[in-house]
Structure 1
Amino acid sequence: MVAAVFMIVLAIGAPMRRHCKSIVIRYGVEGVLLLSFPLLSYTLGLMHLSDAEAGENPLFEEKKGLMQQQLIKNGLFLVWAMFLAMLYFGGTMAISVQKLGENSTMKLKCDIFLSMFYMGIVLGNFAFAAKDLLGRIGLVMTFIFVWTWATRIDYHIDAASLASKPTAENGIKWLADYMKREHQTSTSYNPRTMQGYKYPVLIHNATGNSYSPVTLDKIWCDNIGVLSSSNSPHIRRLKDLCLSFALFHLVVRRYFGYSCPESKLDKSRALVLDGLLQTEQDYERAFQVIEAELAFLYDFFFTKYAAIMYGSKKYYCATSFAITVVCIGVGTWAISVSNKQVSILDDLLVETSTCDVVVTVAALVALSLFELLQICSYFASDWSKVSLVCTYATNPSWQKNDRIKKVLLLLGRPHRWLHYWRNTIGQYSVLDSFSSSSWDRLKQRFQSRKTGNPVELQMEVKKAVARVIKNSINGHLSNGASALMRHGMSDELCWACQTDDEFTLTHSILVWHVATGYCEIETIAGPNENDMHPNRGVATSLSKYVAYLVACAPTLLPGRLIVSECTLDELEAQAKKTLQGLVSPRERYEKLRELYNVVDEVPSSVADATAATEATSAHLLSKGVRLGKLLESMENHMIRWELLADFWAEMLVYIAPSDNVAGHIELLAEGGEFVTHIWVLLMHAGILERPATAIP
């Protein structure tokens, strides 16, 4: 029964790892996989009678010559052991490894060895105990069960191999060589129609000498059957899936350490700036393409979908069907066993109760349904859709089949209940990073920082970020200085953007974060607290999200990790000392004004501001409040929030480029981060790293 519960947890929890950051989901799935082996060992240990049990049981008074360690306590324990082994390594397609590094570690090999060892024990016990007809039937079904289980291990190994190194199956080495000359295959290109973009979609078909790759322009531009219906939103969605699939392979190539030669080409930049982000109406679609791409990336490294797609789909379906049939057979066998006491497995079976049979049948029903669910989930997945589209594009007989056309149109329909990720962003405010409540202190024992509740990622935030990327000239990024120049505040505020060895980018982020928080408190405490301008929501949510990245995902950001952590610790201590015990926004606002009352000493130049800041205090909190008062002095509040929204959008885009590919992929298994979406979008636009100095 526990194993059946484990199966339900895997079926529900494993796919949700990509959609949420819940600790319950993450540790629940890890706990199930961690406890599977101990539970299997425990079940195997229960199968045999101890000396005391054998001596006390009158059924064995006449069997003293038989080795007691070979006496089987309950024949159904063998079925339970098989079920647990299938649970651990037959597993779910929704998860193949917990962490990225497990694809190539010794742990995987040890797990496979132990699984084979345990299954050998089960087979040995059945082979020893099967004496009559029913026992031999059980043995045959066990062999079939073990065969199908072994094929699942093979899929597990294939999935790990695909995700651990470039192989002939995943075609990454071939792709790296191909992309060096892809731009030579076509001199003209159109990023709106994908004309001239010969990015491979199905790479594994291109690895053999007798195959040619199915490319983007073939699917998009060759007017093949139903794919020529450019006005159909369903067909457009399938084409976008193929685009996402082609782009995800480029990220995998970078993960394996290969260069990105196309990043220097105008063609790549045009794909993003003139294709995905041509107009504001395209921004939502652009992020949908990236979301699907990251979903493929997650599946490639953490599930078995890639192994199934690159392998034999028919073979996988056959094994799943075989498991279902065997489960039905074993269930029937278990019911037969329940009518007998000691004759089913000769003299070695002690007793099988009705409760044992109920538990066994329940577990087998769960496994049967689970197998059917896995088959359905794969054929409803985006992997299956891409495979179907590519097969359709290369198979003339399919193009004449009206039923297949209807299937493609059906698969292209969007499903509101299916989402690629949680579509929320984390929030952290240094001015709210402390609490006196016992509950909050208890939670902080399990997480290093006190974070706020995630907020929905509004379309206005996406548009602000997309505009920054769209307006990046030749890939040059700004750390917010460009926003200050556009709003005519460069002379007064640019001192907070200028970084050096002492005042790092992390310092700048936190100073602007405090300033934004100060302006938010001032607005809430003022007479216009309900005046919620859209830019205010964009500015505050992005400010708290970038601060959240500093607090909870610092490895994705520039700078040394230890410096970022120490800087944030210092700022938290300063904020707690200043604002501890103050609850209302008005109290906090007045306290900040009281401690840093510089209204009459607002500096008018960079030199004055720098000198005044150093003279007043070296603390980041005081610098942030001083910057906040400079922003407060702006007469037009709408322009102030527009400036802050533009600043934070620029800052988020500026910090997004990174060489930490593994770090971004790891976070996909924990719900993902919005900065990863920006990172991928910039990579496809040819921006692989942030500039050494910010571009004003």
Structure 2
Amino acid sequence: MTWRNAAGQSSGGAPPPAPCASNATAMDEKQMMQGAVVFTAVLMAILGGTLCVMGLERLIRGRFTLFSMVRFLLRFTFILFLPLLSYMRANAKEGEILFVLLWMLLIELFRKKVEAMVPPSANGSFSRSVSRFRLMGHSDEVTRLVWIGYLIYSNVDWECEKIKLLMMPMFAILWSLAVAKLGQRVLNEWKAQDSLSAAGSANLIAGYMQHVLEQEEEEGRRRSDGGSSGSGAAAGASPDPDLDAVMGNCQYVVMGEEKLVLNKKERRRRQTTGSKVLITTPHCGYGVGRFPHDQDELKHVHLLVDLDKVKNLVTVKDIWQNLGSWLALFGNRRPKFIDHMCLMCLSFSLFKLLRRRFEHYPMVEVGSKMARRLMVEGLLNDHEPAAADNASRAFRVIQLELDFLDNYYQAGVPVVMSAPWLFFINFLSSLLFVSIYVLAVAILLLIPRDDTESLTKYFVITMLLVMTLLAVEITDLTTYLFSNWFLVHLLCLYVAPGGCLWNFLVKPIICCFIAYRLFVFNSLKLVLKLTGRPVNEKKMKTRQVSILQVCEPVHKMFAWASQVTLPTEAKVAIVRGLKKSINNPDTGGDVSLPHDISGFSIRGKTTTEIILACHLATELLEVKHGKPKKKKKPKQKEQKPEDWDHQTMATTLSRYCMYLVARVPELLPDDERWVSDRYEDVKSCLKEASRRCCCSTWWCCPWRRAGRWKAVAEMKVQLKEATAQAGVELYQQLEKGKGKEDSTADDAWKALAQFWVKLLIYLAPSNDVEGHAKALASSGSDLITCLWALCTHAGIKRHPSEPAPAELHAGTHQV
């Protein structure tokens, strides 16, 4: 059979496809794409609603909840929706193009929020540049809005009277509101950059702390000249100092530092009074506090301030004294929620101090008597019988501080700090846009069309996108209103002096909102407890890696994800170790690398080799004696160091240090490649040794784990790697010491626990600010980062270790 083409020429073969078949294929493809768009829109709406719930849970449980996963999935579905939207625009009919253009306008409204769900801190960019305004950063948004405006102008049939009469004003208003929202975002970032309470806060805090330190030194000289008498006795001079006594005199600023700076009118005045002073940070080109050459190059601070305005600041002292007045309502027994609010304000103050280190401003108070008194007698107070509670409190304060720090480098927090009213204007403008948007959709439905099935799908997609936008906006609003940021701001407003109207009208409203927030949080905690996820703020999780499990294929899958709670005994021991380092007059706050365990010297090795050797000895000792049997412990208030579970403490800290070697070597003192090479060498050596102690088919007998490692523990000469030899030798030394007449098994574990505490304190001080920024963005307030922040505030620095032997070179270490 012969087929003729359009020119009348004959052609053989199969007939050309029928037009109806082509149309059917196109219809099927269009329906499939419409189904994909509906599915993606439904998924986005569900994730948006989940985001609202998870946002509140995140405020209670911390950042690493399902909230982060929901944000990731929402961003993923949003990016997936964009190419589908392009396809719908290219294949939409005349009536459908109006819906697609409305979608494009709505997408632009929350595109920035969804794209900002991966914060700048994820790249470790904790610096002044994060808050810096760049007009070029908004060029993409401007281009997209101009393009949408062109599409509205060119794709809509404005000659139709109904569309021209009904839809032209709506599109004009919506597009204008989208442009206004863009202008508002530009204004927000510009104000955040110029705000003294946001981007300029670190500079002001540096100058203010210089003034406080000079005042403290002057008062100290007066006290020394005038003897011990007088009313200026320090709170820490009492025989039983506690946190209240120290914080009741703490001048660290919580809020209001921007009030110190003279405005333009005040600077233009020719007359100068004695209250106007120029504050300068001397000798700060390199260094931090009393320790020169401890940091990168720092900015010199020169501030012209009015000292009369110092009384307008809200300090930790003001918070402690004003909230202490609430004790009369509770019978002189401070409730937990008041303690929590006081500690939160202290954390916020410490966050402002720590920001200077990320933004390279001098931390002049570090190492001073004032800062050390606050740490030793206040935050690191280990007086019995509440040593466990005090240690947990210290870690909780630092965790809150690091949360404030990480949240500051999110997209919207600088805007909130600079002008909170901008945040509420943004939310109200979004509600206005949504109201007009829904009205436009209702008007669009009144225009008659033939394809009602497609119209229903387009309407459903439109409503789902509106729900997603509302969910994102409500999440931002609720997470701010119930955030720790807003609570600290309210507490500072409460303690600030004011007139009669302020005291009798505004302060009761603040108290009511704080009570409501307390009710909401307790209700959510109860719900989480009923669902089997109780919240314990005192617990701190640490990641664990065991090198023996890593060397075993059966246990390898469990070796990378295990997490355990840091024992309370370890917290107390770490706090006491930090306090001892601060009070040691011989070292002046320096910590040295520990080299001895029960008389066994491990000198001449690098930090990484010491960790690997001692970790191997700890693991072999646990294989030998097994895990400790659970026994009834005495109450924490009655527990003494000799009653501690030293084995659990030693193994937990040992595996955490091993986690640092295996997963985050950049936080260790040694070079990352050296750490990786040593780790791989020891792991390969142990794998080879364990194969020799077992049959050749290692996979077939995982139940012989204990016997295999006990055989490895008897080796020393057979091991080819020097670090593994040192680990086995240390294990044998500990076992030999246990066999003495006056020695017990717990003595070896006690020695190991003390060693790991000292080693962890040695690892904590560091000048690698960017490394801790990346760790904070990825893993949150990890133990090593918490200790790093504590050491920074306390003025503890790492003493240079002994130089390694000349034959130690990365990748070539063979002994």
Fold in common (TM above 0.5): yes
Which runs of structure 2 are paired with 1:27-46 in the superposition (5 Å)? Answer: 29=71, 33=75, 36=78, 39-40=81-82, 43-44=85-86, 46=88
* 242-251 or 418-427, larger mean C-alpha shift: 418-427
Structure 1 position 261 matched with structure 2 position 364: yes
**Counterpart residue type for residue 246 of structure 1:** S
Q: For the residues of structure 2 that align with 1:166 and 1:663, how far apart are their CA atoms?
A: 27
Structure 1 position 460 matched with structure 2 position 569: yes
Name 2:297's counterpart in structure 1. none
Structure 1 position 84 matched with structure 2 position 126: no
Q: For the residues of structure 2 that align with 1:403 and 1:427, how far apart are their CA atoms?
A: 47
Tell me, which stretches of 5 or more residues in structure 1 are unaligned? 55-70, 344-348, 444-449, 599-612
Alpha-carbon deviation of 1:427?
0.8
Name 2:167's counterpart in structure 1. 134
Name 1:198's counterpart in structure 2. 251
Given that 1:596 and 1:625 are in contact with CA atoms closer than 8 Å, whether structure 2 keeps it comes out as yes
Structure 1 position 99 matched with structure 2 position 201: no
* 101-110 or 643-652, larger mean C-alpha shift: 101-110
Q: For the residues of structure 2 that align with 1:585 and 1:540, how far apart are their CA atoms?
A: 22
Given that 1:74 and 1:352 are in contact with CA atoms closer than 8 Å, whether structure 2 keeps it comes out as no
Which runs of structure 2 are paired with 1:238-317 in the superposition (5 Å)? Answer: 238-279=341-382, 280=387, 281-311=389-419, 313-317=420-424
Q: Which of 775, 778, 797 lines up with 1:667 in the alignment?
A: 775
Name 2:800's counterpart in structure 1. 692
Name 1:620's counterpart in structure 2. 723
Structure 1 position 176 matched with structure 2 position 287: no
Q: Please give the secondary structure, in 2, of the residue aligned with 1:425.
A: strand
Name 1:428's counterpart in structure 2. 545
Structure 1 position 353 matched with structure 2 position 353: no
Q: Please give the secondary structure, in 1, of the residue aligned with 2:626.
A: helix
Name 1:216's counterpart in structure 2. 316
Given that 1:96 and 1:156 are in contact with CA atoms closer than 8 Å, whether structure 2 keeps it comes out as no
Q: Given the superposition, is the C-alpha separation of residues 306 and 690 from structure 1 closer, same or farther in structure 2, using an over 3 Å criterion?
A: same
Structure 1 position 405 matched with structure 2 position 431: no
* 669-678 or 11-20, larger mean C-alpha shift: 11-20
- Scaled by the length of structure 1, the TM-score of the pair is 0.79
Q: Given the superposition, is the C-alpha separation of residues 614 and 576 from structure 1 closer, same or farther in structure 2, using an over 3 Å criterion?
A: closer
Q: Please give the secondary structure, in 2, of the residue aligned with 1:261.
A: coil
Q: Which of 570, 575, 579 lines up with 2:681 in the alignment?
A: 570
Alpha-carbon deviation of 1:385?
0.9
Deviations 1:178-220 (A, max 9, x none): 2223122343643633244221212553353265432222322
Q: For the residues of structure 1 that align with 2:556 and 2:435, how far apart are their CA atoms?
A: 50
Alpha-carbon deviation of 1:256?
1.2
Name 2:32's counterpart in structure 1. none
* 11-20 or 618-627, larger mean C-alpha shift: 11-20
Alpha-carbon deviation of 1:28?
7.2
Q: For the residues of structure 1 that align with 2:115 and 2:45, how far apart are their CA atoms?
A: 9
**Counterpart residue type for residue 170 of structure 1:** G
The number of aligned residues is: 628
Name 1:326's counterpart in structure 2. 433
Q: For the residues of structure 1 that align with 2:196 and 2:735, how far apart are their CA atoms?
A: 55
Q: For the residues of structure 1 that align with 2:733 and 2:759, how far apart are their CA atoms?
A: 19
Q: Given the superposition, is the C-alpha separation of residues 660 and 341 from structure 1 closer, same or farther in structure 2, using an over 3 Å criterion?
A: farther
Q: Given the superposition, is the C-alpha separation of residues 399 and 516 from structure 1 closer, same or farther in structure 2, using an over 3 Å criterion?
A: farther
Q: Please give the secondary structure, in 1, of the residue aligned with 2:381.
A: coil
Q: For the residues of structure 1 that align with 2:135 and 2:685, how far apart are their CA atoms?
A: 50
Q: Please give the secondary structure, in 2, of the residue aligned with 1:669.
A: helix
Name 1:607's counterpart in structure 2. none
Q: For the residues of structure 1 that align with 2:381 and 2:110, how far apart are their CA atoms?
A: 48
Given that 1:89 and 1:152 are in contact with CA atoms closer than 8 Å, whether structure 2 keeps it comes out as no
Q: Please give the secondary structure, in 2, of the residue aligned with 1:278.
A: coil
Q: For the residues of structure 1 that align with 2:45 and 2:591, how far apart are their CA atoms?
A: 48
- Scaled by the length of structure 2, the TM-score of the pair is 0.69
* 665-674 or 292-301, larger mean C-alpha shift: 665-674
Q: Please give the secondary structure, in 1, of the residue aligned with 2:563.
A: strand
* 190-199 or 504-513, larger mean C-alpha shift: 190-199
Q: For the residues of structure 2 that align with 1:459 and 1:7, how far apart are their CA atoms?
A: 43
Q: For the residues of structure 2 that align with 1:409 and 1:93, how far apart are their CA atoms?
A: 32
Q: Please give the secondary structure, in 1, of the residue aligned with 2:262.
A: coil
Q: For the residues of structure 2 that align with 1:583 and 1:630, how far apart are their CA atoms?
A: 33
**Counterpart residue type for residue 320 of structure 2:** W
Q: Which of 116, 141, 145 lines up with 1:119 in the alignment?
A: 145
Name 2:811's counterpart in structure 1. none
Name 2:766's counterpart in structure 1. 658
**Counterpart residue type for residue 620 of structure 2:** Y
Q: For the residues of structure 2 that align with 1:243 and 1:616, how far apart are their CA atoms?
A: 52
Q: Please give the secondary structure, in 2, of the residue aligned with 1:46.
A: helix
Given that 1:19 and 1:420 are in contact with CA atoms closer than 8 Å, whether structure 2 keeps it comes out as no
Structure label with greater radius of gyration = 2
Given that 2:125 and 2:773 are in contact with CA atoms closer than 8 Å, whether structure 1 keeps it comes out as no
Give aligned-pair identity as a percent.
Answer: 21
Q: Given the superposition, is the C-alpha separation of residues 383 and 4 from structure 1 closer, same or farther in structure 2, using an over 3 Å criterion?
A: farther
Alpha-carbon deviation of 1:615?
10
Structure 1 position 679 matched with structure 2 position 788: yes
Given that 1:180 and 1:261 are in contact with CA atoms closer than 8 Å, whether structure 2 keeps it comes out as yes
Q: For the residues of structure 2 that align with 1:614 and 1:668, how far apart are their CA atoms?
A: 42
Given that 1:341 and 1:350 are in contact with CA atoms closer than 8 Å, whether structure 2 keeps it comes out as no
**Counterpart residue type for residue 545 of structure 1:** Y
Q: For the residues of structure 2 that align with 1:623 and 1:682, how far apart are their CA atoms?
A: 30
Q: For the residues of structure 1 that align with 2:690 and 2:718, how far apart are their CA atoms?
A: 23
Q: Which of 471, 478, 482 lines up with 1:369 in the alignment?
A: 471
Q: Please give the secondary structure, in 2, of the residue aligned with 1:373.
A: helix
Q: For the residues of structure 2 that align with 1:393 and 1:463, how far apart are their CA atoms?
A: 33
Tell me, which stretches of 5 or more residues in structure 2 are unaligned? 1-37, 159-163, 220-232, 237-242, 264-308, 529-534, 633-643, 692-697, 803-815
Given that 1:426 and 1:548 are in contact with CA atoms closer than 8 Å, whether structure 2 keeps it comes out as yes
**Counterpart residue type for residue 558 of structure 1:** P
Q: Please give the secondary structure, in 2, of the residue aligned with 1:263.
A: coil
Alpha-carbon deviation of 1:571?
0.9
Alpha-carbon deviation of 1:292?
1.0
Given that 1:424 and 1:456 are in contact with CA atoms closer than 8 Å, whether structure 2 keeps it comes out as yes
Deviations 1:577-614 (A, max 9, x none): 2235379898444434445537xxxxxxxxxxxxxx79
Q: Please give the secondary structure, in 1, of the residue aligned with 2:255.
A: coil
Q: Please give the secondary structure, in 2, of the residue aligned with 1:275.
A: helix
Note the aligned Cα RMSD (angstroms): 3.9
Alpha-carbon deviation of 1:27?
7.8
Q: For the residues of structure 2 that align with 1:219 and 1:406, how far apart are their CA atoms?
A: 18
Deviations 1:559-587 (A, max 9, x none): 11111110001111112222353798984
Given that 1:554 and 1:564 are in contact with CA atoms closer than 8 Å, whether structure 2 keeps it comes out as yes
Deviations 1:422-452 (A, max 9, x none): 9311111111113436x968x9xxxxxx524
Alpha-carbon deviation of 1:470?
2.3
Q: Given the superposition, is the C-alpha separation of residues 362 and 596 from structure 1 closer, same or farther in structure 2, using an over 3 Å criterion?
A: closer
* 575-584 or 620-629, larger mean C-alpha shift: 575-584
**Counterpart residue type for residue 504 of structure 1:** T
**Counterpart residue type for residue 630 of structure 1:** Q
**Counterpart residue type for residue 146 of structure 2:** G
Given that 1:16 and 1:25 are in contact with CA atoms closer than 8 Å, whether structure 2 keeps it comes out as yes
Which runs of structure 2 are paired with 1:559-598 in the superposition (5 Å)? Answer: 559-579=670-690, 581=698, 587-595=704-712, 597=714
* 668-677 or 199-208, larger mean C-alpha shift: 199-208
Structure 1 position 470 matched with structure 2 position 548: no
Q: Please give the secondary structure, in 2, of the residue aligned with 1:101.
A: coil
Given that 2:553 and 2:699 are in contact with CA atoms closer than 8 Å, whether structure 1 keeps it comes out as no
Given that 1:242 and 1:386 are in contact with CA atoms closer than 8 Å, whether structure 2 keeps it comes out as yes
Name 2:445's counterpart in structure 1. 338
